[in-house]
């Protein structure tokens, strides 16, 4: 199968929109993107509702449904988008997702006869606030970057950094979905038990080694029945789309609690996602070859397919920036801490889905996977401060003279993502940001 089989007219890089802001170079939301979110007007008492981004606007799908200008599968899909969140639409499956995407693409294309009707459904993104795009019933955090796993392993287990199961099993743990919030949701520094290496017993207080984790969030669309697994050949059909994900971590709490059962209070105090879910279909031009080093164990049959080899990887640039309180007060722009790419992931999204369900575990619409911290092979591609500061031993120098080993109160972390290459439209993810507030 060639990549051409994954593409259709919605991916045509020559398409332009009558929404002029969608045609600006390096826009995150050109007509080839069309991601989904839950939004409402700032300061209003109205219900949240589903919208699609086009340029600097949101097209209100509840308003589009009310126009009654579509029929069949498209109108059925729009009806499910009249809910406050996306779960009902996500449960409809790939056929309906694609039908709505194609209809919106045609309707928003330059010269569309529907322009006069649809212009009334547009709202400026500057005038809206967002909710979580869907109800996240369950959240599983994976550990798919071998570069991150090895780097962190060296700090916790210098003699045995990468445990032997890592190259055989997509490692994950069950996270806390209730503390996932949308971008802009600031949070208080967590408190908990920590134990210094020289201390004889633990102490209680605010976390001193607060960190971010640069991750990708993966949203399940239609799920599977309990006891039925999803094969790797069908796995991508169950993935609605992806977002940016910051899985905040209290490293000192984590170091004391994580053995033998893994993360608990060190992760469940806050996680933050970008508001827009970029659909799997929109990302088709950026699906890339996935390979496994010949010297490593090759995946077991349930984690192996030719399609996964050909298109399992995703060429997605990921960036982390920091804006300290001092920078903000001086009106200085945020500065980059690192940049990496999701294509360096050791395990693919399809492998995560196949592995998660191979024991009969049932996934449901709106369930979310975290990819795990996405670090690249080079030091400047580290997806956490734990790695960038060598566990606090080598402070990070900021351009304004400040230094950081871990996050301080008032620090705002901003993550951005985009796909870009010759012969395809640039697809952006918007951003995810939140500011650390002082503990009570």
Residue from 11, 147, 148, 356 carrying the catalytic annotation? 148
Q: Please state the φ and ψ torsions of residue 403, each to the nearest 5 degrees.
A: -130, 155
DSSP-derived 3-state class of residue 419: strand
CA-to-CA dists, residue 7 to 10, 309, 372, angstroms? 8, 18, 28
Evaluate whether 193 touches 253 at the Cβ level (below 8 Å): yes
What is d(CA 216, CA 374) in angstroms, rounded to the nearest whole number? 8
| Catalytic residue list contains 11 | no
- The region, left, alpha or beta by phi > 0 then psi within -120 to 50, assigned to residue 390 is left
What is d(CA 341, CA 318) in angstroms, rounded to the nearest whole number? 6
Structure-token match 């005038």, residue found = 127
DSSP-derived 3-state class of residue 120: helix
Evaluate whether 41 touches 31 at the Cβ level (below 8 Å): no
What is d(CA 92, CA 311) in angstroms, rounded to the nearest whole number? 24
What is d(CA 112, CA 280) in angstroms, rounded to the nearest whole number? 25
Residues 6+ apart with CB under 8 A from 109: 15, 16, 17, 18, 31
DSSP-derived 3-state class of residue 323: strand
Active site residues: 148
């Amino acid at each position: 199968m060639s990549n051409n089989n994954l593409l259709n007219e919605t991916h045509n890089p020559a398409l332009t929109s009558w929404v002029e802001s969608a045609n600006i170079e390096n826009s995150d939301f050109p007509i080839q993107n069309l991601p989904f979110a839950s939004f409402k007007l700032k300061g209003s008492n109205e219900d949240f509702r589903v919208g699609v981004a086009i340029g600097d606007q949101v097209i209100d799908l509840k308003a589009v449904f009310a126009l009654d200008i579509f029929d069949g599968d498209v109108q059925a899909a729009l009806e499910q988008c009249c809910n406050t969140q996306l779960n009902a639409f996500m449960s409809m499956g790939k056929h309906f997702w694609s039908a709505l995407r194609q209809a919106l693409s045609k309707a928003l294309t330059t010269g569309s006869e529907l322009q006069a009707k649809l212009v009334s459904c547009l709202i400026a993104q500057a005038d809206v606030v967002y909710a979580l795009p869907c109800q996240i019933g369950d959240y599983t955090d994976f550990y798919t970057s071998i570069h991150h796993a090895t780097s962190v392993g060296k700090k916790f287990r210098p003699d045995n950094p990468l445990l032997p199961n890592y190259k055989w099993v997509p490692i994950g743990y069950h996270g806390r979905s209730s503390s996932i919030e949308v971008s802009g949701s600031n949070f208080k520094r967590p408190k908990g038990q920590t134990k210094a290496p020289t201390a004889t017993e633990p102490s209680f207080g605010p976390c001193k080694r607060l960190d971010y984790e640069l991750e990708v969030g993966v949203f399940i669309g239609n799920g599977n029945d309990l006891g039925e697994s999803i094969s790797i050949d069908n796995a991508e059909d169950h993935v609605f789309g992806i977002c940016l994900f910051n899985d905040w971590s209290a490293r000192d709490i984590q170091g004391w609690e994580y053995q033998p059962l893994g993360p608990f209070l060190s992760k469940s105090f806050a996680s933050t996602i970008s508001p827009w879910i970029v659909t799997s279909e929109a990302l088709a031009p950026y699906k890339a070859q996935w390979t496994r080093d010949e010297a490593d164990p090759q995946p077991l049959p349930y984690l192996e397919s030719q399609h996964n080899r050909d298109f399992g990887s995703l060429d997605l640039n990921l960036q982390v920036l920091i804006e300290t309180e001092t920078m903000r007060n001086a009106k200085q722009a945020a500065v980059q801490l690192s940049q990496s790419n999701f294509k360096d992931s050791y395990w693919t999204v399809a492998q995560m889905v196949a592995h998660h369900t191979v024991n009969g575990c049932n996934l449901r619409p709106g369930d979310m996977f975290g990819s795990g911290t996405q670090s690249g092979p080079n030091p400047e591609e580290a997806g956490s401060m734990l790695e960038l500061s060598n566990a606090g031993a080598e402070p990070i120098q900021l351009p304004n003279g400040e230094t950081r080993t871990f996050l301080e109160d008032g620090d705002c972390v901003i993550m951005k993502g985009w796909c870009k290459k010759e012969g395809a439209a640039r697809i952006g993810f918007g951003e995810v940001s939140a500011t650390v507030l002082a503990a009570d």
